[in-house]
Chains A and B, each alone.
Chain A
Amino acid sequence: MFEKKIKSHPYVAVKQMRWIFVFGVIPLIRGLIATFKGDFSVWTQGLWLDLSILILITIYAVIYRHFNLCIYNNYSIEEEVGLFFHYKKSIPWQTITLIKLYQPFYLRPFGASYIRVDTIGGNYRKSDINICLPTNDALQLIEFYRKNHDDSNVEMVYHPKLSSIIALASISTNNMIGVIYLATFISQSGKILGNEFSDMLVGSFENFARTISVHVPPAAAAIAYFILIAWLIGVGFTVVRYGDYKVARKEDSIVVDTGIFSKQTQIIPQDQINYFYIPQNVLAYIFGFRSLYVSVVGVGKERMDTKCIIPSLRKSEFDKELEKLLPSYTPSENYLYPRKGMFRYFLEPTIYLVLCLTFVFAGSYFFPHWQDFILFVGTMVFIPIVGLFVIRVAGRKQSGVGYANGVYTLRHSDRFTLQTILIPEDQIVQITLKQSWWQQYRGNATLKIHTVSEGRKIHKAYNVEHKKALEFFSLTNPDIIIA
């Protein structure tokens, strides 16, 4: 039987050297004591202890790496890890939901890559196997998997346009990345380049905010511009992450290749896909953009994972690309509709609107000197409330459940996002119809669809017609049986 054993990359030993920061506190304390006593001879006498600690950690790191192995054969992929507490994990190829090759930009010059393997069992926060290997060996492993378990031909390849990726980055970027980056840059610039540079940077930003703030308090303008710059940085990171993006559909799997500096290849067996979803936030809805994301166990556990299959496109283009790339996942028309109550859709944004207006009027009355700032904050809070209203109106219009070609289509609104979810019927593990006494009186029910997942994953549709839902999902009606 074929079997190959691969030792992990030397970078694993370098990572283990982090224990120096833990045990290095001992020489640090000794140095501090010597400083306070004013007698360095004590410190130099004990230097052997400090050196011993460093040598022991280095030896530990080297031996740890020696015992960190990846072994694969025709049946399974295995990982051996740990020195004192040693684990040998064996994952059959058949149970894999995701296999991923990841080459971070900072390791590419050293020829190192990560192989990640995940299954539906195990820890839902960490991958089941995550090992750093020499890039050549990692590529051979991926090639072996493709030849033995994924040897069907490529049926369709999708290359999104750059404009689509920029649209995705602009609409869906998480501001937090940019904010963290910018805040770190400004605060650390003083340490690296001197306080004068840091003061110059902060001062320049302050002057810029004062210059451009028009009829708005400079402090408020500064915050707004800070977030805007941070957002632009976030957009830049996302464009780089999705650079050179390609999705290939094979008979048995979907392969996603992406990244300019940090490259990654994700192989997802088609029968392991839990569902696809099309989220639309307020901006995407207003401008008519749609993106397709995949939900499968393993994808999304690391920040650099790519869940997006089709980046942002206008509706007509999106429908065309989806039909070509995933013909069995075309969204179907709604059959089951929620009863169109106003209360459920508009109560929450109305409450927020009332609170916002109360804050503005009460704040302006009690703190007249702060009126400008209060009006500004009130306006900024009002904008997302309007967004919420827009989403709720759209949700009320579009919500429902449909079915075609073995795939259920569920449409609903969730906070600030419209969701269209495409669930293969074999991924549904439980359907619940819940009725309050009011819903029983009206003949309605809350529909909950549980899908295969590492944790709990429930999709909901509110206020659907109870009898129609029973018929639609071919469910047993206990009332009839008991009667």
Chain B
Amino acid sequence: MTIVRPNRKVLTMWRILLVVVSFLPILAISLFLTSSTLYKVGVGIWGVLFILLFAWYLPKLYNSMVYIIDENNVVFRRGAFITKVVNMPINNIQYTTISISPFARIMGVVTLIVVAPGARLSLAGLSMKEARRISKDITTLIEVCGDV
């Protein structure tokens, strides 16, 4: 059985994306809320929301994520408030894809996508070495399942 936790860099990625995306609500607030009271309320609400997301929700989400690969299944757990556990039987898996976006390349993490008929699982926050190893393990397990 292999137990993998995503790289901490993926949390950094989410936080950077949150900061970038935050410019949009700030722009909306500054353009549309002109009276000083409404403006202060808008900024206050967004500020609180931002801090909650940045300091509490995203780390909680990151800590909940775990990937488990055993001889029968690939299991993915994640969820800050509502925990989701996804179980994909190895014998249903058709192929795997390692996906690298430009931003992820800078951060040094990749996403391993596991594809079955009618389903796909994205295992984000892996290093290239880890992703290749897991992909190879899954391929070997598929072969073993097929022989059985």
Binding site for B on A (CB under 8 A): 75-76, 84-92, 94-95, 119-122, 128, 454
Q: Which residues of A contact B100 (CB under 8 A)?
A: 85-87
Partner of B115, one of A76, A86, A121: A121
Is there contact, CB below 8 Å, between B117 and A120?
yes
Q: Which residues of B contact A85 (CB under 8 A)?
A: 99-102
Stretch at the interface among B29-37, B41-49, B56-64, B139-147: B139-147
CB under 8 Å from chain A, chain B span 108-148? 115-120, 135-136, 139-140, 142-143, 146
Q: Kindly state the separation between the CA atoms of A128 and B100 in the bound complex, as whole angstroms.
A: 18
Q: Kindly state the separation between the CA atoms of A146 and B118 in the bound complex, as whole angstroms.
A: 29
Is B98 in the interface zone, CB < 8 Å from A?
yes
Q: Kindly state the separation between the CA atoms of A133 and B120 in the bound complex, as whole angstroms.
A: 28
Given known pairs A121-B116, A122-B115, the reply for A94 and B97 (CB within 8 Å) is: no
Is there contact, CB below 8 Å, between A87 and B115?
no
Min C-beta distance of B66 to chain A, whole Å = 23
Is there contact, CB below 8 Å, between A89 and B95?
yes
Is there contact, CB below 8 Å, between B139 and A76?
yes
Q: Kindly state the separation between the CA atoms of A106 and B53 in the bound complex, as whole angstroms.
A: 56
Q: Kindly state the separation between the CA atoms of A121 and B118 in the bound complex, as whole angstroms.
A: 7
Is there contact, CB below 8 Å, between A122 and B102?
no
Is there contact, CB below 8 Å, between B116 and A75?
no
Partner of B95, one of A84, A86, A119, A454: A119
Is there contact, CB below 8 Å, between B117 and A92?
no
Min C-beta distance of B129 to chain A, whole Å = 13
Q: Which residues of B contact A86 (CB under 8 A)?
A: 99-100, 105
Beyond contacts A87-B100, A92-B139, A122-B94: 5 other A-B pairs, Cβ-Cβ < 8 A, are A75-B136, A85-B101, A119-B115, A121-B93, A121-B115
Is there contact, CB below 8 Å, between A92 and B99?
no
Is there contact, CB below 8 Å, between B143 and A91?
no
Q: Kindly state the separation between the CA atoms of A94 and B97 in the bound complex, as whole angstroms.
A: 16
Q: Kindly state the separation between the CA atoms of A87 and B95 in the bound complex, as whole angstroms.
A: 13
Given known pairs A75-B139, A121-B115, A122-B115, the reply for A88 and B94 (CB within 8 Å) is: no
Q: Which residues of A contact B102 (CB under 8 A)?
A: 84-85
Is there contact, CB below 8 Å, between B95 and A94?
no
CB closest chain-A residue, reference B131: A88
Q: Kindly state the separation between the CA atoms of A94 and B136 in the bound complex, as whole angstroms.
A: 14
Q: Which residues of B contact A90 (CB under 8 A)?
A: 95-98, 135, 139
Q: Kindly state the separation between the CA atoms of A89 and B135 in the bound complex, as whole angstroms.
A: 10
Is there contact, CB below 8 Å, between B95 and A91?
yes
CB closest chain-B residue, reference A119: B94
Min C-beta distance of B116 to chain A, whole Å = 5
Min C-beta distance of B141 to chain A, whole Å = 9
Partner of A88, one of B98, B101, B118, B146: B98
Q: Kindly state the separation between the CA atoms of A90 and B139 in the bound complex, as whole angstroms.
A: 8
Q: Which residues of B contact A95 (CB under 8 A)?
A: 93-95, 142
CB closest chain-B residue, reference A95: B94
Q: Which residues of A contact B96 (CB under 8 A)?
A: 89-90
Is there contact, CB below 8 Å, between A87 and B99?
yes
Given known pairs A75-B139, A94-B143, the reply for A454 and B117 (CB within 8 Å) is: yes
Min C-beta distance of A429 to chain B, whole Å = 10
Given known pairs A84-B102, A122-B115, the reply for A89 and B97 (CB within 8 Å) is: yes
Is there contact, CB below 8 Å, between A92 and B143?
yes
Q: Kindly state the separation between the CA atoms of A212 and B80 in the bound complex, as whole angstroms.
A: 78
Is there contact, CB below 8 Å, between B143 and A87?
no
Min C-beta distance of B118 to chain A, whole Å = 8
Q: Kindly state the separation between the CA atoms of A75 and B143 in the bound complex, as whole angstroms.
A: 8
Is there contact, CB below 8 Å, between B97 and A88?
yes
CB closest chain-A residue, reference B135: A90
Min C-beta distance of B96 to chain A, whole Å = 5
Min C-beta distance of B107 to chain A, whole Å = 14
Q: Kindly state the separation between the CA atoms of A344 and B100 in the bound complex, as whole angstroms.
A: 55
CB closest chain-A residue, reference B100: A86
Is there contact, CB below 8 Å, between A94 and B142?
yes
Is there contact, CB below 8 Å, between B97 and A121?
no
Min C-beta distance of A124 to chain B, whole Å = 10
Residue-wise interface mask of B (69-113) relative to A, using a CB-CB cutoff of 8 A (1 in contact, 0 not): 000000000000000000000000111111111100100000000
Q: Which residues of B contact A89 (CB under 8 A)?
A: 95-98
Q: Which residues of A contact B143 (CB under 8 A)?
A: 75, 92, 94
Q: Can you report 21 residue pairs joining A to B where beta carbons are below 8 Å apart? A: A75-B136, A75-B139, A76-B139, A85-B99, A86-B105, A89-B96, A89-B98, A90-B95, A90-B96, A90-B98, A91-B95, A92-B142, A92-B146, A95-B93, A95-B94, A95-B142, A120-B117, A121-B94, A121-B95, A121-B116, A121-B119
